[in-house]
Structure 1
Amino acid sequence: MRPRSFNLQITIFLLIRTAINTCIRMVGPFLLVFARGIGADMTSMATAVSASMAASAVGPFLAEIADRKGRKAGMLLGLVIFTLGVGLVIVWPAYAAFLLALLLASLGNNLFLAAVQAYVGDQIPYEKRGVTLSILEISWAGAFIAGVPLVGFLIARAGWESPFISLFILGVLSIIGVFLLVPDVPVEKNAGESLNGLRFKLILNTPAALFGLALGFLVITGNNVISMIFGVWMEEAYGLKIAAIGAAATVIGFAELAGEGTVGLVVDRFGKGRTIAVGLIINILSAILPFFIGGSVAGALVWLFIFYFSFEVTLVAAIPLMTEILPQARATLMAVFLAASSLGMATGEFLGPRLYTAGGFTANVVAAMLVNLLGLIILPKVRRSK
């Protein structure tokens, strides 16, 4: 039975995720600021950012705790790891601490998010689950629209370390909030079951789960093939580095917000699979738009809005579907889904600059279209548990 404080819990989860996502998304815009603060060069900083994604590979193994010990335990573990990570920079403002902070923040985020998504899946029927999960995803756009500008405000007035101090305080408050508000609900388990990889074996033996993981990987890869290079494209195409890229960042943030809001309105009525399919089709078809409306900054921004809007619709609609593929291993599967998405991010970031160098922006657009087309082909294989 859903607890009376469930709506308050969702609000707290949304605020916590906005803070965590702000930590993750602030690095790109303020990379030079942080580099100067810790005395590192750009190459080393890029290595730190890339290495932080590797932490998600550990997440699924720890996330099994949320399937065994309860969702609350998984949330608290993720928040403690995140808080320790950002706190490390405060007491040790050096490159090594910055690298560890990003690693721990990424790992903590994946653990907390998987436990929250599993908790929502426990409390809300599948037919109504999409609305709540899409509300929680507003935190991703919210971090870019509100959190990152607030970080800039703090840095300008209190120095480059100030965001980490603020995030540490928010982390401590988040731990207290989850401890007090989220009930200790025992999860069903087999007698004698231990942390032995049983759920990973179940995932590997479930084709729908594997196709769902492949779908997440492909969608994120296609997005990051563009994300890694759109700034370079706009700079070289229009010569408006600061103005165009700044405007693009704002457009992307509102496109993400619009995509998350759209999913909340339609996904439960229209169907998770059909919403994903529409998002993929729009994203694939949008690949041809730069060749028709990309001759101006305004045209390029219109295309970016459509591209990121349809991507966000696809990804956010996939989350409630993934929560029902293996209910008995819900937290573990969602953590593996996050790991697959992070691997897709790394793949897209690796391929993006190389495609651009080899064939210009056209190569990136074609690559994004092809991986999303493959995602559309395998989508019918991603089915909820009967």
Structure 2
Amino acid sequence: MAPHRDNAADAAPPSDVPAPAAPPPGEWAWDARRVAQLGILTAGRFCLNGVLRLVYPFAPAFARGLGVPLPTIYGLISLRNFTGLFSPLLAPLAERFGRRAAMAVSLAIFSATVLLVAAAPSVWTLGLALVTVGAVKVIYDPAMQSYLGDAVPYAQRGRALAVTEFGWSGAFLIGAPLTGWLITRYDWSTPFLWLGIGGISAAALLWRTLPAARRHDHGSVSIAYTWQMLRKHPVIWAAALYMLLPLVAQESLFIVYGDWMESTFGLSLTGLGLATTLIGLAEMTGEGTAGWSVDRFGKRPVVILAGLLTAAAFLLVPFSVGSLPTALAALVGVFFFFEIAVVGAIPLLTEIVPEARGAVMSMTFGAMAAGRTIGSIVGPFVWARAGVVGNSLVAATVMVLAVLVLARWLREGREVSP
């Protein structure tokens, strides 16, 4: 997010933008250096998302290992999600101190708390690690996506952002089976050791590989500036609402995923990890499809279609409880289309108000955290009273509302008054 300037002609280049390279105007070179940078950014996201996501399928195992009721783990998840609501306060730190520094320090703090879980496993250290992940993720992700928003032309941005989204799906595709194996062979806290080592390694590589941050010359980004952009561009509220609603939908079903799989199909930890791998594969395929399709066919039409198909897939879940393969097939459909609806929307959101890109992304990440918080509270409540049927109906309804918000108010580079 570049700071507000009254004279656009005097504007300095956006923070952390790499030096101009050889490709023609409007093109972005997919050379070895760029690919390495994307790989490191993705590795950092993988470690953050590993802790963020693996608590869902293995929540019953964590509860057993700690000797606490399962609702205690759900409470820690809700607390972690609540921390993400501070994104509008925390995300501007990347603009003030530089995106490279913010991302590297975020990963270092993350690694310290995660390694503490491995060294002294308890419900308190687990809670501290989850809350820390919730805080640093809303610094790391907006900084990374704003960096790519500045560096990559809009026509190619979908592909670049989709690459970094593999750090999300990879947490399931790779992390889930390894976590199941590590917990079975050792104990519940062992995966945190390896995620901590990976996080500090990614921080060091990121610091050495990304261009040095350049301080803004015309003032610094502040909460007051973010609020000014929100008043000037009400469409940012619509963008935040769009990102909130799909996360409510997904979280309300997925928070009870581990309990549902264990209680309905009797899966072991290894089996649960392998089943979750299929979800990770569906997500990775969805991310790749999003990166290819939104640049080719247009961001809005692809995202709208994917959102409607996600709602339809949610409605199919209750009909799949008769067998494990059918249930997994329904979940694969949910997560495939969901990833397109969310990942495909990110490049669209980076362009709705280009001069306030950082404000847009920090608000949307705060909204996503709010969505997870709401979903993590609603999900167990509905699960206890209506089972998977109730969770699926809630998720489908909320997803349709999200599509309506996007179709009505969100356009590339052109505001529609809410």
Asked whether the 8 Å contact 2:56–2:254 carries over to 1, the reply is no
Per mean C-alpha deviation after superposition, the further-off stretch among 270-279 and 158-167 is: 158-167
Match of 1:374 among 401, 408, 413: 401
Partners in 2 of 1:184 and 1:315 — Cα distance? 30
User: Is the 2:318–2:388 contact (alpha carbons within 8 Å) kept by the matching residues of 1?
Assistant: no
- Tell me how large the CA RMSD over aligned residues is: 2.8
Farther off after superposition, 262-271 or 332-341 = 332-341
2:295 — aligned with what? 268
Distance in 2 (alpha carbons) for counterparts of 1:163 and 1:298:
27
Bigger mean CA offset, 307-316 vs 320-329: 320-329
Q: Of residues 113, 119, 123 in structure 2, which corresponds to 1:95? A: 123
2:267 alignment partner in structure 1: 242
Aligned partners of 1:33, 1:222: CA distance in 2, in Å? 24
Question: Residues 158 and 294 of structure 2 are in contact (CA less than 8 Å); yes or no, is this contact kept in structure 1?
Answer: yes
Q: Secondary structure at the match of 1:385?
A: coil
Q: Report the equivalent of 2:229.
A: 202
Match of 1:163 in 2: 191
Counterpart residue type for residue 340 of structure 2: V
Report the Cα distance in structure 2 between the residues aligned to 1:235 and 1:366, rounded to whole angstroms. 21
Indicate if the aligned counterparts of 2:60 and 2:70 stay in contact, CA closer than 8 A: yes
Distance 1:46 1:303, change over 3 A: closer
Instruction: Output one character per residue of 1:74-111: Cα deviation in whole Å (capped at 9) or x when no partner.
Output: 21232132122213324543332221111112222221
Unaligned stretches of 5+ in structure 1? none
Give the Cα separation in 1 of the matches to 2:328 and 2:77.
26
Residue 339 of structure 1, CA deviation = 1.9
Given the alignment of the two structures, is residue 173 of structure 1 paired with residue 198 of structure 2, yes or no?
A: no
Mapped to 2, the partners of 1:140 and 1:234 lie a distance apart of 21
CA distance in 2, matches of 1:162, 1:212: 39
What is the distance in 1 between the residues matched to 2:336 and 2:351?
A: 24
Question: Higher mean Cα deviation, 203-212 or 349-358?
Answer: 349-358
Could you say which residue in structure 1 is the equivalent of 2:243? Answer: 216
Give the Cα separation in 1 of the matches to 2:179 and 2:140.
22
Q: 2:59 matched to 1:31?
A: yes
Structure 2: how far apart are the matches of 1:168 and 1:130? Answer: 29
User: Which AA in structure 2 matches 1:263?
Assistant: A
* More off after superposition, 108-117 vs 121-130: 108-117
CA distance in 2, matches of 1:350, 1:59: 20
Structure 2 residue ranges without an equivalent (≥5) = 1-18, 22-30
2:128 equivalent to 1:109? no
Mean CA deviation greater in 242-251 or 272-281? 242-251
Q: Structure 2 matches for 1:63-142, cutoff 5 A?
A: 63-142=91-170
Give 1:352's match in structure 2, choosing from 363, 379, 386: 379
Which residue pairs with 1:42 in the alignment? 70
User: Paired residue for 1:58?
Assistant: 86
Q: Which residue, out of 14, 18, 32, partners 2:42?
A: 14
* 1:312 corresponds to: 339
2:391 pairs with 1:364: yes
Cα gap change, 1:357 to 1:65, in 2 (>3 Å): closer
Distance in 1, Cα, partners of 2:130 & 2:318: 38
Q: Hey, what's the Cα distance between the residues in 2 that align with 1:307 and 1:155?
A: 27
Question: In structure 1, what is the equivalent of residue 6 of structure 2?
Answer: none
Aligned residue type for 1:119:
Y
Q: 1 or 2, which has the higher helix percentage? A: 1
TM-score by length of 2: 0.82
Partner amino acid for 1:104?
T
Amino acid at match of 1:15: A
Letter in 2 for 1:318: A
8 Å contact 1:65–1:73 — kept in the other structure?
Answer: no
Partner letter of residue 329 of structure 2? V
Q: Is the alpha carbon distance of 1:376 and 1:194 closer, same or farther for their aligned partners in structure 2, counting shifts above 3 Å?
A: closer
In 2: Cα distance, 1:245 partner to 1:358 partner = 24
2:24 aligned partner: none
TM-score under structure 1 length normalisation? 0.88
Letter in 2 for 1:289: L
Mapping 1:143-158, distance limit 5 Å: 143-158=171-186
Q: Does 1:285 align with 2:301?
A: no
- Take 1:106 and 1:85, find their aligned partners in 2: how far apart are those partners? 12
